[in-house]
Structure 1
């Protein structure tokens, strides 16, 4: 009987310690989570301009640098067939875009690599800014489930369009005309 009580006490202590550990871990991950988009009370989704971005050369910046511009944010991976097919269209779009528009490409580095992103940039002669999503936190914050996925954000920072799958210059021009 005494032995059962000791085993029960040990089990209870282990369970309590485990639950405390889970609670602490969840609380800590809340603080470090990146929220690229914030839900506003009016139901719109606002970009968080203080979001830090890691550039291809591993330096950092924030979206504040692009405040006041229409943003096209494209999530991609070098191994993604549709991403490879859309790269020339994105290049052409970027080379002819209006001054109030910026195209930002975010590589799914957690399932790709910085080296592959550099090779991709060189292969397609891309000149638009490319950023690294090293831990998938940016993709998670926008619920990116497949590549490519493109988001269009107006000059006030409000998410207007989500395009799942390949996009081309004609589609982008048409959507931009509505903003």
Structure 2
């Protein structure tokens, strides 16, 4: 009986370890996903700063959406890169943060924004419906949206600055 218990316990630990390694490798490598269906030509969510509804019009300017949480280590790693991207292309693209608010607290989100000096709009996906529309792919997740509200390109997991630039060029989002 003890031998059976040891084997079962060992098998459970090996399986759990394999899942953890897979998730870490997928996040570190960053997985490219096929674009999902259109979100809509506009998107309206609550703006964290003003607590009022804010509408993003995808036809106005190409848009980069970043789905994130404040406690995600890869989101924290990518935040400064996205801030730089927003500053470099502020006249050519919208950069919008989409916080998975049910998974965060107001205090943690405010601290995250201050820590990374985030000045682009951060909208709250309060019920997770946008995240679900985008395929519940993981985070951080970058979605490069075209004027029709369709995902032109996406990237799941951490991404370096050079790859962010390449995605913008390939999408093609820059005017």
Q: TM-score, length-normalised on structure 2?
A: 0.71
Which of 71, 75, 81 in structure 1 is aligned with 2:73?
A: 81
Which of 53, 61, 69 in structure 1 is aligned with 2:61?
A: 69
1:169 corresponds in structure 2 to: 161
8 A Cα contact 1:105 1:129, kept in partner:
yes
1:102 corresponds in structure 2 to: 94
8 A Cα contact 2:40 2:150, kept in partner:
no
Structure 1: gaps of 5 or more residues: 1-42
CA-to-partner distance for each residue in 1:45-66, whole Å, 9 max, x for gaps?
33313432110131112222x4
* Higher Rg: 1
Extract structure 1 runs of 4+ deviating beyond 3 A: none
Q: Which has the higher contact order (CA 8 A, sep 6+)?
A: 2
Q: TM-score, length-normalised on structure 1?
A: 0.69
Q: Secondary structure at the match of 1:106?
A: strand
1:145 corresponds in structure 2 to: 137
Give the deviation of 1:91 after TM superposition. Answer: 1.0
Q: Name the CA distance, whole Å, in 2 between partners of 1:158 and 1:138.
A: 13
Q: CA RMSD in A?
A: 1.9
Structure 2: gaps of 5 or more residues: 1-34
Count of matched residue positions in the alignment of Structure 1 and Structure 2: 136
Q: Name the CA distance, whole Å, in 2 between partners of 1:150 and 1:44.
A: 12
2:9 corresponds in structure 1 to: none
1:91 corresponds in structure 2 to: 83
What are the within-5 Å matches in structure 2 for residues 25-64 of structure 1?
A: 45-56=37-48, 57-64=50-57
